[in-house]
Amino acid sequence: MKIKEFASENISLIGLVILMLLVSIASPSFLSVDNLLNILRQTSINAVIAMGMTFVILTAGIDLSVGSILAFAGAVCASMIGADVPLLVALFATLSIGALLGATSGSIVSFFGVQPFIATLVGMTMIRGATLVYTEGRPISTGDYEVANAFYEIGGGYVAGIPIPVIIAFVVFALCWYVLNYTRIGRYVYAIGGNEQVAKLAGINVSAVKITVFAISGALSALAGIILTARLESAQPTAGLAYELDAIAAVVLGGTSLMGGRGRITGTLIGALIIGVLNNALNIMDVSSYYQMIAKGGVILLAVVIDRRGK
Amino acid sequence: MAMLLELRHVSKAFSNVRVLQGVDLTVEAGHVVALAGENGAGKSTLMKIITGIYHRDSGTMKFQGKEVQFHNARQSMDAGIAMIHQELNLLPALTVGENIFLGRELVNRAGRIKWSEIDEQSRFWLKQLKQDIDPREVIANLSIAQQQMVEIARALSMNAEVIIMDEPTDALTDVETKILFDVVDQLRSQGKGLIFISHRLGEIFQLCDDVAILRDGEMVHQCPVSEIDQDGLIRHMVGRELSEQYPYVTAKSAPVRLQVSQLEAKGVKGVSFAANAGEVVGFAGLVGAGRTELAKAIYGANRPTSGTVEIDGQAAQIRSPIDGVRAGIGYVTEDRKLEGLIQSQGLRSNMSLTGLFQFSSPLGHLDKKAERVAITEYINAFSIKTHGIDAVVSQLSGGNQQKVSIAKSLVPKPRILILDEPTRGVDVGAKREIYNLINDLKTQGLCILLMSSDMPELLGISDRILVMSHGRLTGAFEHNDADQESIMRCCTVA
């Protein structure tokens, strides 16, 4: 009974372990330290976005605008670095823009009663458009001031042998875990997803909480934009296309219910890792990128079906 | 006279709560049977069993002499039993004709809907009701009374042998009520059988041939209307003595805690009253009288349009539940499932939700240890039967869920507690526990407003009873001078 319970509670973790075992049998080079660190670094961007997405989905919402916010924030950040704006100022301003864009979607959802799907679909389209206008459709260079070199460290640097994006993702994870499990607003997020009417009648400021979760999602998308721009040493206007799908997939693979109210941030981390391992494995096994998409979709479907049957 | 419908020893329970117990009911051709009983006596359940929406646990039902077992509403409709529901069952975006023939569309051989025929027949049935309504009109554009007439036309158009009318006159004006009664007379002379449910006792004597009285899920009396008078009818409806089931504790004199003046809100019209600390004020009324609306207006769930609320002598501006909680009001909602508890989540997160600020720092850090201690105390004090502090709420019995719901509103330590139907769907033993709980809270000095449709319960534990009808206060009784018949009269004041 205990084992069965553990299994159904941690099905995504078990899935990840099995996947890693299978891949390491098929390709021995998979388990090398270099490759594992590589997977973590590749996963970190999706993990950061997916953790913000988890907040939104826990309130029974969805955020389709994450990829567009990533691109816009990345472009703005790149031009600030290119203009020799002090690093901390540039980072803070970029995160604020992300939070503000998210909060705008949240306000539209809260005050005009627009479905999150529609509100963020509009956001996704308009922010992508704004990015193309702002960049005139061309990549934005981060320039060659001194500050640019410090900026690149965010994407490509190491601390004690661990890539900085991985460290950032882990800090974000720890913060999200704390907020969801040990704060009032975390409890409110679950309550609103569980039953919005009950939450309202319990005297919770539902609008404020919804705006906050979209702001968190926006800020984390901007953070992902910073990491990507620093890694590529320039901002692409088409960056982050379809990233919302990988983020949603990570959340769902992690066992969070799209109906809201149920799920864990740990699950999202594992979900992001499953997608990362899968991408990496298909690459080192030389599977063509066309087939990779089919394989990825299949694995997600399988995981979700197993999860449903366990319920 | 031929027997159309004959029920014998029908019983029904919902998750161990007995709703109907060995009920007999007969409907003869050419007779109108009034079904009387208090709210919660089991009338609706009985009708839903007849129409196949619910399944009886035991007993038999004969329709036109044949044993029948309907599995859904469609089967009873096809057999010849039509029901006019209390809450309108029309699709507001469709036309009158589409609604009347919903699910029975007249089609030609190719499957094409014959609209002209639908229009013609709709017009015919509406004419029977002396209604000049265009069959192509959209339902949403009609008045409530007209919608009710469409609903009745729909039932007539089925050519049913037995027609059940659940509070059909509730939404009708006098003119339409007269028309409806003429139609009922017509149907009677055509040899149809009718079951007529109404809270307006006058209508029963005016219209019906027989009366059947349900009380607490048992059929206590069925007889011709001529053999009973209004007092006898009420006596049978309310029946029992107030026994030990209602432990009453005398209230101590205390200062006024809540003063409501000329409160206006959705469904509430100019309500004024005062309630003291350490007092239970009961609110009686029929379904839809405005008690829930009053509770929600005081708590802030419905925003009042005018009027004032004072708590302990200070004006309170309450525009949302956020203000309500802050002003020291606890509200236990009537609808546990949709408004009271998050069914998919645990006891702990449900119980601490309203009072979460008690366990958290100004910045929002949650002290889970303090929370666990407090919640465990409530679970023990209220003897909530659960296998853990994080057990999922939906797995608890109705009584235990209700206790969780009450505890939830007590965690923020309110000064006023509003209980809306706190014992609905709760079995007798748990009811008794909830009454004791109410008495405890009252002696601790809480001001309690108790909205209940269970009359003996109101009489048993309230210090005062206020009666509502159509959104207004229509009567006030002290504990010692309150009796069911006088209250019932105030309930039916138009």
| Run means of pLDDT, 10 residues per run, chain A, 311 residues | 72 88 88 92 97 97 97 97 96 98 97 96 97 96 92 94 96 98 96 96 96 98 98 95 93 90 94 93 87 85 72 51
Q: Chain A partners of B338 at a C-beta cutoff of 8 Å?
A: 195, 197-198
Q: Are residues B266 and B134 in the same domain?
A: no
Smallest CA–CA separation between B355 and chain A, in Å? 8
Is B248 within the bounds of a domain?
Answer: no
Is the C-alpha dihedral spanning A171, A174, A175, A177 positive or negative? positive
- Which one of B323, B342, B390 makes the best mutation probe of the A interface by having the most chain A beta carbons within 10 Å? B342
Using a 10 angstrom Cβ sphere, with 0-12 exposed, 13-18 middle and 19 or more buried, the burial of residue A157 is middle
* The model's pTM: 0.77
Q: Across the interface, do A184 and B321 touch by the CB < 8 Å criterion? A: no
Listed as ranges, residues in chain B with pLDDT below 70 are 1, 15-16, 39-40, 87, 240-245, 427-429, 494
Chain centroid to Cα B287, Å, comes to 5
- Which one of A1, A181, A187, A206 makes the best mutation probe of the B interface by having the most chain B beta carbons within 10 Å? A187
Backbone angles phi, psi at B398, to 5 degrees: -55, -45
pLDDT score, position B485: 85
Q: Are residues B313 and B214 in the same domain?
A: no
Q: Are residues B223 and B275 in the same domain?
A: no
Q: Across the interface, do B364 and A261 touch by the CB < 8 Å criterion? A: no
Is B246 within the bounds of a domain?
Answer: no
**For B345, which residue in chain A has the nearest alpha carbon?**
A194
Q: Across the interface, do A261 and B345 touch by the CB < 8 Å criterion? A: yes
Q: Are residues B129 and B224 in the same domain?
A: yes
**CB of B56 closer than 8 Å to CB of B218:** no
Q: Are residues B468 and B368 in the same domain?
A: yes
Distant-in-sequence, close-in-space partners of A249: CB < 8 Å, separation ≥ 6: A271, A275, A300
Using a 10 angstrom Cβ sphere, with 0-12 exposed, 13-18 middle and 19 or more buried, the burial of residue B243 is exposed
**CB of B169 closer than 8 Å to CB of B180:** yes
Strand-pair category, B193-197 with B279-284:
unpaired
Q: Which residue has the tokens 């864009």?
A: A101
Q: Which of these three, B193, B210, B238, is where a domain ends?
A: B238
> Which among A183, A186, A191 is the nearest to B342, CB-wise?
A191
Q: Which of these three, B205, B238, B271, is where a domain ends?
A: B238
Q: Are residues B90 and B38 in the same domain?
A: yes
What does the alpha-carbon distance between residue B133 and residue B142 come to, in Å, rounded to a whole number?
A: 9
Q: Chain A partners of B349 at a C-beta cutoff of 8 Å?
A: 187, 190-191
- Residue B82 sits in a domain whose CATH number is 3.40.50.300
Is B66 within the bounds of a domain?
Answer: yes
Q: Chain A partners of B321 at a C-beta cutoff of 8 Å?
A: 200-203
> Which among B339, B345, B352 is the nearest to A201, CB-wise?
B339
Structural domains present in chain A = 2-310 (1.10.3470)
- Which one of A175, A198, A259 makes the best mutation probe of the B interface by having the most chain B beta carbons within 10 Å? A198
Cβ pairs A/B, distance under 8 A: 72
Q: Are residues B47 and B186 in the same domain?
A: yes
At A162, list the tokens. 């661990």
Q: Which residue has the tokens 């449903």?
A: A308
Is B249 within the bounds of a domain?
Answer: no
Q: Which domain holds residue B376?
A: 256-491
Is B144 within the bounds of a domain?
Answer: yes
At B80, list the tokens. 């010849």
Q: Across the interface, do A198 and B321 touch by the CB < 8 Å criterion? A: no
Strand-pair category, B306-311 with B210-215:
unpaired
pLDDT score, position B385: 83
**For A263, which residue in chain B has the nearest alpha carbon?**
B345
Q: Are residues B204 and B270 in the same domain?
A: no
**CB of B425 closer than 8 Å to CB of B17:** yes
Is B250 within the bounds of a domain?
Answer: no
Alpha carbon separation from A304 to A118, A163, A216, A298 (Å, rounded): 24, 31, 26, 10
Which bin fits A24, alpha (ψ -120 to 50), beta or left (φ > 0)? alpha
pLDDT score, position B242: 44
pLDDT score, position A6: 76
Q: Are residues B266 and B221 in the same domain?
A: no
Is B28 within the bounds of a domain?
Answer: yes
What does the alpha-carbon distance between residue A154 and residue B444 come to, in Å, rounded to a whole number?
A: 61
Number of domains in chain B: 2
Q: Are residues B330 and B432 in the same domain?
A: yes
Closest CA relative to residue A16, chosen from A289, A284, A278, A307: A278
pLDDT score, position A194: 95
**CB of A299 closer than 8 Å to CB of A274:** yes
B30-80 per-position pLDDT tens digit: 999 999 887 667 888 899 999 998 999 999 999 998 999 999 888 998 899
Q: Are residues B38 and B123 in the same domain?
A: yes
Q: Are residues B152 and B272 in the same domain?
A: no
Q: Across the interface, do A200 and B301 touch by the CB < 8 Å criterion? A: yes
Q: Across the interface, do B356 and A184 touch by the CB < 8 Å criterion? A: yes
> Which among A183, A184, A261 is the nearest to B342, CB-wise?
A261
Backbone angles phi, psi at B260, to 5 degrees: -105, 125
Is B247 within the bounds of a domain?
Answer: no
Q: Across the interface, do A202 and B326 touch by the CB < 8 Å criterion? A: no
pLDDT score, position B43: 87
Smallest CA–CA separation between B341 and chain A, in Å? 6
Q: Which of these three, B211, B238, B265, is where a domain ends?
A: B238
Using a 10 angstrom Cβ sphere, with 0-12 exposed, 13-18 middle and 19 or more buried, the burial of residue B114 is middle
pLDDT score, position A77: 97
Q: Across the interface, do A187 and B342 touch by the CB < 8 Å criterion? A: no
At A38, list the tokens. 């590589």
